[in-house]
Structure 1
Amino acid sequence: MSINNEFPGISGSSIRTPSLTIKYATPANEGYYSCFVENTAGVTESKPVKLKVLASLPEVNVLLQPLITTAGLDVILRCSIRAVPPAIEVYWQRNTNDHQTIIKSSSLNINGSTVGDPSLTIRKASVSMSGEYTCIARNSVGTGKSLHTTCTILKVNQARNTRSSTGSQSSDQYPIIDVPKDHYQVVYGSAVTLTTSIRSNEINPARKVFWQLYNKGVVMTIDSETKGVNGNNIANSSLTIQKVTTSEAGNFTCFVAHDMGIARSKSIVLEVVGDLPTIEIEQKHYATVYGEDITLICNVNADPAITHVYWEIVQNETSMIINQGSVGVQGITPQNPSMIIISVTNMHIGKYRCFASNAVGTSGSESMSLSVIGGKPTVTTTQSIVSTDFGKELTLTCIVNATPKITKIYWYKKVNSQNHVTFIYAGFPGMSGSTVETPSLTIKSGTPANNGTYSCVAENVVGITGSKPVILIVRAGNYFHR
């Protein structure tokens, strides 16, 4: 398929803008792309670029805990959605005696049921609102549905009778889930097993086991295909999480599906202690003068405490590790993770990241760039030839600009007829100047012996620069003694 700048849904692909912009990518755009450029000599093709569009049906989860409440109260049915591309519509469906009712945000006495707030709030619920509810989300790929959750709304006298009953679970009716421990506290990164056991009978055997996690308003269903877990099946209903992170902190519930419906355990709380270090930087770009020291700030907060710190520099797509023992740096310790670079040069230009490790693992900071200001001095003379009469004072002007500041000034003189160079420093007989403060050279009384080619030289920590040469000619006069 050929794509030019008139192709619908794209921009670019022109001489002025050869890059190709796809305005709304879909799976139909997946494939290999090559850019072609043509001139009078022929056509050149780029290497192919593979485009993969991440897209799937929305993943919709609801809190499967059956809800029993009293008429006249508000009811909240929790729903969380993960969708790429994003969901563009959310609504609910209620099933009652094979009758389906669609519930949208515009429905009477309803809040939520939107992309921004998919959970459903029924205000002052009535008995007629009882039923099985399903949360539904649609994106450009298609429609995803949750499992159904049951909501039972009772009259006041029914609610009293329900609360006074000895229990709604019976081993003669459906499986019972035993939970020997309902609170776990584990260290970040370790494994944990949330222990449960199932008691069932031949009349209502367990058909399927799954779990749900409720974490900060988000519901996630965990089944046998979920990565990073073990167990979670009829033979072993306990849930083993191989590596706990803060994403697993929350309330877990075990569910057992059977022929009569779904049984659930009481809630199990998982508390996660510790986390990866959090690293903050004060600025993303540093600039310093060549030769000066600079501190790249790295602030680390960690529980458990950090045990190791190092830095990384990337230059020309090549990375190098900098630690406490590296030459020319200070800091880089758990007590002082910031890095001090001693006497910055152009070799230090690059992008830096700070890394800190604790018992949980290693975290890296955002990237910081370092640029270096300054270079060798610029040295300028105002004339290429200077001529003067015998005995007169003259000045060879030298203008110096330097960052970092100059540390040394001198002149040198060459005589064309001789293979000899004379270096002129501050204090040279018969002359003044040639200093950091006054780089120009003043000859107090010119004679033909001063004739030659002069150059001004300035030096800083970056390097040395010499000026263009200045030719000095002192004209000799005729003197008569009477």
Structure 2
Amino acid sequence: MNSTIIFGVLLFTMAIGWLEASIGLSTRTITEKQGRNVVLSCQFERLTDRDRVMWSKNGIVLSVNQEISGDKQKYEIIGKYDLIIKNIVGNDDGHYLCQNFDQRLSMTIILTVLTRPTKPELYQTNETLVEDNLAVFICSTQGGNPSPTYTWLINQIPINGSYFTVSSNTSELRLPLEKRFHNEQLICQVNNKALENPLSTSRTLNIQYKPEINLRHGQTLVTNLNLLVIENDRLTLDCQIQSNPSIIEPIAWLKNGVSMTGINSPSLTLQTIKRSDEGEYTCMTSNSIGRGQASVHIRVQYAPIIRLTGGGVISENKRLVLTCIVDAYPSIDSYEWYKNDEKLNISSLTSSYIIDKISKYDTGIYKCLAKNSLKYSNGSSIEKFDKTQTRVTVEYTPIVTSLTPILALDLFTLNIKLQCDIDSYPESTIIWTYNDRQIFNSNKYSIIKNKTSSYLIIQQLQSNFDYGFYSCNASNKLGKNSTTIQLRSKDIPETPTNVNITSLTYSSISLKWQPGFDGGWPQSYWVSLNNSLWKETNESQYTFINLKHSQTYNIIIRAQNRLGQSQNSASIQAQTKDVPITKEDLPQIEYSTIYYSEKILDYRLNNSSFISLKVPLCLRINIYNHSSICERIVTSSGVIKLDEQYLLNILNVSMCVDQYEDYCGQTRSVETKRELAFNWIFILIASIIIVFFLILLGLCIFCIIQNHKRRRNKNHDIITSSLKKPSPQHPIVIESTHSPHKLFSYSEQQLQSSFSKIAEIQKIDQFKDKQTNRLIVTTTTSTGTNGNFSSSTSGSSDPIISNPNSSSLSGSDQLTVTDFYPISTVTTNPNDLPLPSAQNDLLWSQSQYGSYGFPFYTTTNNMHEIISNKNHTKEDSAESGYSTPSKMNHQSKKTVYEVVV
């Protein structure tokens, strides 16, 4: 204890002395959050282990060199006298001094500890929170370095800072209450640098408010003051109420401020909307805070209802006003007016139709149609309309006309009918006069009348006094009118009048005139050009063609009937148009091609010269034995569709002035291109291939037939040459039989079938006698050893006969052609040969077949006899019919086989 005191006194003495002479190097500031460790460093130059370094806080020594004089759990010296302060708290704030006694140096470090405030607490000063009142809320906290900041939020939305104040550890919020804050969270947050996240507290607001009412139409919330509905539809209004506290009165519905009795439910339904239902509808209720209501004005939309004024009977030249009076909501979008079901071309916005000076042609049925659009609450609309009509009848003075104002007849003509047509309203009174004297029904005159016509019938023209002017007079309450018909004798026609030019081109003049009276006979017209070229026509018009441009022509017209020509003639002067271009300036044709498959003429002109021209042009196509045609063109290149009859007769083309086909440029020949369609090419190729195969097939058949003939002729020549040789002395005759018996079986003989030599066996058929159907066979005299026979044949062309050893059947028990011929002698006439007994003859049966291609053999005595020239033994004649003779023991013995294919 004493030593500690002495140590402290010593340190104090040293510090006092050192302070008097030490030099301060620097002052540093360190800020750190509460609860962390902080390191304070002494940064002296040339610091050694012998230097004496002391740490102190606010004059209290904490350590000297490595020795801690304070709380050793709190402080620690590391490295070159660096001081560690562990788990700092707010009390660790202060000035820390590091002193080097040997160097008389010092360093000051100001430590600031950031401390956390406590969790805030939120208080409400108002007993209840009522809408539109001012509520006061207090939020408080303790501690914290630096002092905490406050933030107020409603449902995570910050409140404007003008609504709250902040003192040392408290914030006060003065909040105007609104209904929308009900059930929202009021949050108070505190924060400073020591906190990682702000500290907060909250409170649920319970705002009391009067009932809030919304009206809903179907699924749509009514937000406008007006609600459009359509007449005869169904309407339902739902009253949706929000209230805190609950309502204390039942729901009430009002129309135009008057309570609707008997309706207390949240829904109001109008089953069929009428126009009388239009008005303001209100839903109303209340609670302890106050009364709430919502209103909407229902506007009933309906289709137009039209009433048409004006019309009826009106006199000619009066003013007509037709007015469409419409009752509709919304207002009319458009009007339409019709006369006799034909739409009139007037503005769609006018509701009146006016005729300032009406005439008889305005008589008819007039119709007015009005449209409007009715809108639904979902934004769609429907168009509605109504229409009505009225009849307008115009009164007018009679209009009297005659189709034949002049009538030429011969004397003593019977039943002359004069007709006049009357158009009037009201109906007219008709009077016929002759030379201003009224005509009545008599033996000479008859008057017939209907609604629109009147007829004066003269029984007979008795004298020239009956010729003259007959008048048809019509009158009604509005006035009168008449027409005159001249009855005269037949004469030459009158001169045509009103000659007019109807068309002028570079090379043609067209004119038309008004015919005069024909004199009672059919008339025609003679038209002259410059009094030299006369043309006759039955029409009252004519066209001169092939004229020259810019030339003046005098045209004269006369009428003619069977009595002669008109006394005078009508004349007119006309000049053809001038061509504003020379032939040399016409565009050149660069190419022209006819495509037969498409039936078109493709052309192209010189584009530069074509564009500069303002004259209409045509492409003249000259056709063989036909008049040319000139097709108007508007582009420098294109195609012209041609008739099929002209395709093969086109000679050339040229460029001409339109309507002046003789004024043309140079002609150009036409190229032609014949294009075959794909299907025709395919058909052509297929046809060639088919014909080729047919020819090839015919050649093959011809070759097969020729080959077959050659083979038959060759076989015939071989046998013929064989028959011409000397005949044998003892021929063998084989006759037909019908008793089938096998000479031997295939299994006993064990011979291989030789189908390749069937043709050789078939040659035997050529040796049959045509009369007896017998096969004539000659035998030979042969000698051999051990069953081998030798023969010699000369003069035979048959390879089988000439070379018996080459046959596949030679040397075997099968029959070959050589077995039927003698080696030395051959007879050429089989009828001269002696025939043996029929019982000893071998019979050839072509109708019998053996198995595996071998024949059957039969005899009349059910046994086979082998016919031979020499050395017949008893053993041979006594053999079984099914035994096979052996060549080893019988040198001249042969067996005859029948092979049937």
TM over 0.5: no
TM-score (norm 2): 0.19
Considering only CA atoms, is the larger Rg found in Structure 1 or Structure 2? 2
- Using CA pairs under 8 Å that are at least 6 residues apart, name the structure with larger relative contact order, 1 or 2: 1
Structure number with higher helix proportion: 2
TM-score (norm 1): 0.31
